[in-house]
Amino acid sequence: MRRSPKDTDESARKITRRALFLGASQLAFMGVLAARMRYMQVDQADEFRMLADENRINMRLLPPARGLIYDRTGILIAGNEQNYRIVIVREDAGDVDEVLERITRLVQLDPDDLERARKELKKLSPFVPVTIADRLSWQDVAEVAVNAPALPGVSPEVGLSRFYPLNEDFAHIVGYVGPVSDYDLGKLTDPDPILQIPKFQIGKIGVEGKMEDALRGRAGTRRIEVNSVGRVMRELDRIEGISGENIQLTLDAGLQNFAQARLVGESAAAVVMDATNGDLLAMASAPSFDPNKFVRGISVADYAELTQNEYRPLANKTVQGVYPPGSTFKMVVAMAALEAGVIGPNETVYCPGYKTLGNRRFHCWKRGGHGHVDLNASLQQSCDVYYYEIAERVGIEKISEMGRKLGLGVQHSLPMSAVAEGNMPTMDWKMARYGDSWKVGDTLNSGIGQGFVLASPFQLAVMVARLASGLALEPRLVKTVNGFEIERPVPTALDVSQTNLRVVREGMIAVSNSSRGTGYGSRIEDDEMRMAGKSGTSQVRNITAAERARGVVNNRDLPWERRDHALFVSYAPIEAPRISCAVVVEHGGGGSAAAAPIVRDIVLRALYGEVPPLTAYPASQRARVEEVLQGLVLRDLSPASNGKSRA
């Protein structure tokens, strides 16, 4: 049936409208698409380019070289050494166990390191490099490199690691570094991003810890191209980090080594200070430890050996150890009494061997007493009754005030760990601490450096330096940072009578140079090097009345831990003091017998600048002294020696 012309025209009009509608829709869609494409490609081009680059290029931090630490003469104390290590990438290795087996045929590896590497390989992504072993010799690394075709996924690397060439000598002062721990990060409110680098080393204790920010330096960066799963494809550029600042200490490596060697076999501490400006010259704590073991990862056995040693080698006895100063405190009491005017230098006190207070006797170390003694004789012979008497007269407040004036009971600012404040007790202190009032007996005990009085060997060295110089010297440990001198404050004169200072010094001179002095046995024969000193013995146990009645047990007959501490302090030369020195020998017995000979040797080494000549000692002692000095294991610190020890 044929359609009429009218129907045909109507159909054509409908088709045309549909075509126009469809075409308009397509055109509109294409317009919107074109506009969107233009918006993304032109208007937002920079943003998408940045997003693409961030997806393709990563920034990695590069650890800087740690700053170096030197002694006052430029001898290296803490440095950096090349650390050769081998790493493996699991996805490139194929059969990991087979590759590790091949490596063990070439290089002797610690089984613990291998086990740790296997665990990390399983835990980490297949493209992340895992360290198999570090601190390898160049020969081991070369062996791996030569056999590289047979070791797929394995490559040698070179980095920097901390090392301490003088081993035990500066361990307590400089400290050591170790990997960043969660505990370290938890102490920081805004941690440096560099601390996130795996196994990045930071200072843990000592100068390394206290001056971490200066020693650490600033991280460098490298741009690397990675694929969609984060695998490194190539390095685009690199900006090296800024090395940490180099630090020079005031300590003398030769003197430090001598002091450390002289303390071998003892649980002891020795501090030497420049009595003209406050520079610390030596701070030896014995026994010591090798800080390199902590850097490399100390073994359980080695750590247990350190912690279970009754001599406590990990403790820095120079600043952490606080002890009753015993009779070395008598100069403080004497100065307090002279300044208060409660006694004159020529006034005498009678010593029958004890002082009675109520129904209690406070005994002198000399059972039969010293008779009538003035201030000079009281120091020379270390009469306890004299100091019981003048301590009671002057009172604890003035005694403690004088102690702080001379540097005791004060926490001096040093970049070292756990610097102790010691204790100069007062009435208020005892009430706050124990809820009890101060007793006269407490004052008497304090008068001979016992009871609540506590001081570190470092503080005792400061005390003697101030007595010798008449200046309020402030101790200094850091000499320069990056070559720039650390300014020391100009010391002011002590706020005490110079006449009274001379009186106390004369008593100290008599201790070491008078035939009745407690330190006469350790005198110096060289007139230009003579020293002034004071012995001290601090009790660590109570002596009962019954024991006194039958005779006090000699220290050498007691177990080591129940023996008295031995102390001796000194300055030299007596005419123009250059150094002060303090030594504490834990449970050493008498200060004159145990500590004084050590002080004399260290003082002479400081003054002569080398092992002291035998002519500096009394002729009758030279054979014994020679045996002692020849038995010291001293380090050869010449440039070609690399710090090796010599007998």
Tally DSSP H helices, then E strands, for the chain.
24, 23
> Can you say how many angstroms the Cα of residue 193 is from the centroid of all Cα atoms in its chain?
25
Helices (H), 81-137: 90-93, 96-106, 111-123
Residues 6+ apart with CB under 8 A from 547: 553
Say if residue 265 is exposed, middle or buried (CB neighbours under 10 Å; 0-12, 13-18, 19+): exposed
Q: Which residue has the tokens 């490139």?
A: 92
Q: How far apart are CA 496 and CA 471, in angstroms?
A: 10
Q: How far apart are CA 217 and CA 195, in angstroms?
A: 12
Q: How far apart are CA 113 and CA 120, in angstroms?
A: 11
String of DSSP letters for 304-333 = HHHHT-TT-TTS-TTTT--B--GGGGHHHH
Q: How far apart are CA 179 and CA 134, in angstroms?
A: 14
565-572/484-485 β-pairing: unpaired
Asked if 353 and 481 count as a contact pair (C-beta separation under 8 A), the reply is: no
Joined together, the tokens standing for residue 325 give: 């100063």
Strand-pairing partners, residue 199, are: none
Q: How far apart are CA 114 and CA 120, in angstroms?
A: 10
Q: Which residues are catalytic?
A: 327
Say if residue 621 is exposed, middle or buried (CB neighbours under 10 Å; 0-12, 13-18, 19+): middle
Q: How far apart are CA 403 and CA 406, in angstroms?
A: 5
Q: How far apart are CA 458 and CA 208, in angstroms?
A: 20
Grouping H, G, I as helix, E, B as strand and the rest as coil, residue 508 is helix
Residues 6+ apart with CB under 8 A from 115: none
Joined together, the tokens standing for residue 109 give: 């590896």
HEC sequence for 359-381: CEEEECCCCCCCEEECHHHHHHH
Strand residue runs (E) in 244-319: 247-249, 268-274, 280-286
**Amino acid identity, position 87:** V
Strand-pairing partners, residue 58, are: 224
Q: Please, what sign has the CA dihedral across residues 512, 256, 70, 64?
A: negative
76-89/154-163 β-pairing: antiparallel
Neighbours of 446 (CB within 10 A): 26
**Amino acid identity, position 26:** Q
Q: How far apart are CA 254 and CA 270, in angstroms?
A: 14
Asked if 520 and 594 count as a contact pair (C-beta separation under 8 A), the reply is: no
